Amino acid sequence: MSFFAPINQYPPCGMYTTGHFILFAICLIGIIVAIYFSRNLKRKKIKLITKAIAILVTILEIEKIGFNFHYGYTSFDNWLPLAFCSLFIYSCWMAGFGTGILEQCGSAFLGGAGIICGLAFLLSPSTSLTMYPMLHYLCCYSMLFHSLMLYLGLLYVMKRIFIPSVLNYRYYLSFCLGFCLLAIIINSISGCNMMFLREPFNIPLSFLGELQNSSQTLYTMLILCVYLTVPFFLVMFGYQLMQAIKTRRENKHASV
């Protein structure tokens, strides 16, 4: 069956293909419906949803690990959940089950990176869809995983569970920097490519490959800086823009 087929047994779905657009449309509709039915939820219910998603993605990730081991893909790159988007798993556990700083750090990744990372993958799924057919476990899981990431990210910001601000950036920075340093250590010891901090893999930006070939250190520092700043500040800028538009409309209506 193609659903659990090994790599290269069937033609891959690919990016910007009919299969990709079908999966994207399904995910987009699902996210819109989920956000609509979540619009009136209170913080306690959202935390319960976060817990449920934490358990769900952990089970699905274990299934992914089992798949990789079954076919002999046993290097760290193939099974250890330490890609940047994989931090969604840990952030769900921290935000859903944690308290205090742990909860703040988990919420910071969900609200500070979930929207950008989830949407970026759905628009450009450069990993699983380039290696497996559309109706494959890893393709379906990847699209679901990033849809949940986008959904929770939107929910946390819309319901102001996490407010992307300069003050709250410290929680995002602490969370991401810790995992990035761990990835760099593992890459240095094992020669792996956790979080693409060692090489760009399938990222369709040629200058990254050229930079990595000329200076490994500069490449790693660039990707590290992107992770630690771009997702959060894009979300913060978008949030502040929406708040400014909302305030302007309220003032306009008040003056009428």
* pLDDT 10s digits, 136-194: 999 999 999 999 999 999 999 999 999 999 999 999 999 999 999 999 999 999 889 99
Integer Cα distance of 64 and 186 in angstroms: 21
pLDDT digits (tens, 9 = 90+) for 192-221: 999 999 988 777 678 888 898 999 999 999
Integer Cα distance of 184 and 196 in angstroms = 10
Give Cα separations from 232 to 23, 114, 149, 194, 217 (angstroms): 26, 9, 14, 20, 23
How many alpha carbons lie under 13 Å from residue 76 in its C-beta half-sphere? 17
Half-sphere exposure of 195 (CA within 13 A, CB side): 31
Mean pLDDT of 3-30: 94
For the entire predicted model, the pTM comes to: 0.93
Per-residue pLDDT, 256:
59
pLDDT in tens, 21-40: 999 999 999 999 999 999 99
Cα 196 from chain centroid (whole Å):
14
- CA gap 62, 80 in Å, rounded: 10
The pLDDT of residue 140 is: 95
Helix axes 137-158, 18-38, angle to 10 degrees: 30
Tens of pLDDT, residue by residue over 223-233, are 999 999 999 99
Question: At residue 11, what is the residue type?
Answer: P
**Nearest CA among 197, 195, 190 for reference residue 217:** 197
Looking at residue 95, its pLDDT comes to 97
Measured distance CA(93)–CA(75) in Å, rounded: 25
H or E segment to which residue 196 belongs:
none
Percent of the chain with pLDDT over 90: 80
Per-residue pLDDT at 255 = 66
d(CA 239, CA 161): 13
Residues 152/110, Cβ–Cβ less than 8 Å: yes
The band of 87, judged by pLDDT with boundaries at 50, 70 and 90, is very high
Report phi then psi at 237, rounded to 5. -65, -45
Domain ranges of the chain: 2-255
Span between the terminal Cα atoms of the chain, in Å: 64
**Which residue carries 């290696």 as its tokens?**
131
Better pLDDT: 102 or 212? 102
pLDDT at 72: 87
